[in-house]
Amino acid sequence: MAVALDRIRVGSAPDSWGVWFPDDPQQVPWRRFLDEVAEAGYSWIELGPYGYLPTDPARLTEEVERRGLRVSAGTIFCGLHRGPSEWDATWEQVSRVAALTRDMDAKHLVVIPSFWRDDKTAEILEPPELTTEQWGHLTRGMERLGREVKETYGLDIVVHPHADTHIDTEEHVERFLDSTDSGLVSLCLDTGHYAYCGGDSVKLIETYGERIGYLHLKQVDPEILADVVRNEIPFGPAVQRGVMCEPPAGVPELGPVLTAAQKLGVDLFAIVEQDMYPCEPDKPLPIAVRTRAFLRSCGA
């Protein structure tokens, strides 16, 4: 019998409906996303790209509440490894997203490092490895971000290791965690991205449990991933090949991940994100229904 995962709050996100951009004709309209995520049995959502969902807090509150939904987090991208010159542009973005996140009574801001390789064109934008100086900029910048987001908006930042960014592999994630203040910076562990980059989610939870502030549930198809790695395929085209797959068909096994998270003894969001950009509009809902049923079978 599955362990009762009573500290895990399961949700989903626009990403699982093929939404990567605020406005894109290939994406499901936002009303349909809200209708279908509620129909699939989820009660928590993320905001997704700023501007996809309504940005007026009163209107968005009305839209989510009448569907029985609540918001768990907002998301931003930033390139703080480039140094203090990045701060003003980062804060301008943060201030918009964090204000809406706070006004929706959410408590988390998911922070994704900027890509070193363009996810559409595959153009190499920056070297994949940071210099020592850049690591210093990144860690100090994230600590400052954590401090100021908490002081200004009352939110906790959770930094999201992500494919084709500088915080990706086990080595990079551990270096980042070892170099940052646990009181200022926590991690959003995305099980799919971590597996994509060769990491072991259960091991990370068991080793750095006090740093895990949030979860994204995702799986990768190991056969497609092997081809992606062998041919150095960028993340965007890899997603189009189906590298992020429907649970429980891929890795890592989510049951052990959720059990390890439950053992931390803290309340954690576990937000389903199956990258599917672009996808047919009728594809996400059946997958979401099956995924929610699967997670219930795990005890969530």
Provide the 3-class DSSP secondary structure of residue 108: strand
- Tell me which residue of 290, 279, 286 sits closest to 24, measured CA to CA: 279
Q: Which amino acid is at 262?
A: Q
Report the pLDDT value the prediction gives residue 4, as an integer from 0 to 100. Answer: 84
CB 138 within 8 A of CB 176: yes
Tell me, what's the pLDDT at 2? Answer: 59
Q: How do the pLDDT tens digits run along the chain, 300 residues long?
A: 456 899 999 999 999 999 999 999 999 999 999 999 999 999 999 999 999 999 999 999 999 999 999 999 999 999 999 999 999 999 999 999 999 999 999 999 999 999 999 877 888 999 999 999 999 999 999 999 999 999 999 999 999 999 999 999 999 999 999 999 999 999 999 999 999 999 999 999 999 999 999 999 999 999 999 999 999 899 999 999 999 999 999 999 999 999 999 999 999 999 999 999 999 999 999 999 999 999 999 998
pLDDT digits over 257-290, tens only?
999 999 999 999 999 999 999 999 999 999 999 9
Cα gap 69→87, rounded to integer Å = 33
Q: Which two tokens stand for residue 193?
A: 């991205």
Tokens of 131: 């210099």
Q: What structural domains does the chain harbor?
A: 8-298 (3.20.20.150)
Computed from CA positions of residues 79, 84, 85, 88, in that sequence, does the dihedral angle turn out positive or negative? positive
Structure tokens at 186: 């926590």
Q: How many CB atoms within 10 Å of residue 267? A: 9
The angle that helices 30-39 and 57-65 make with each other, rounded to 10 degrees, is 30
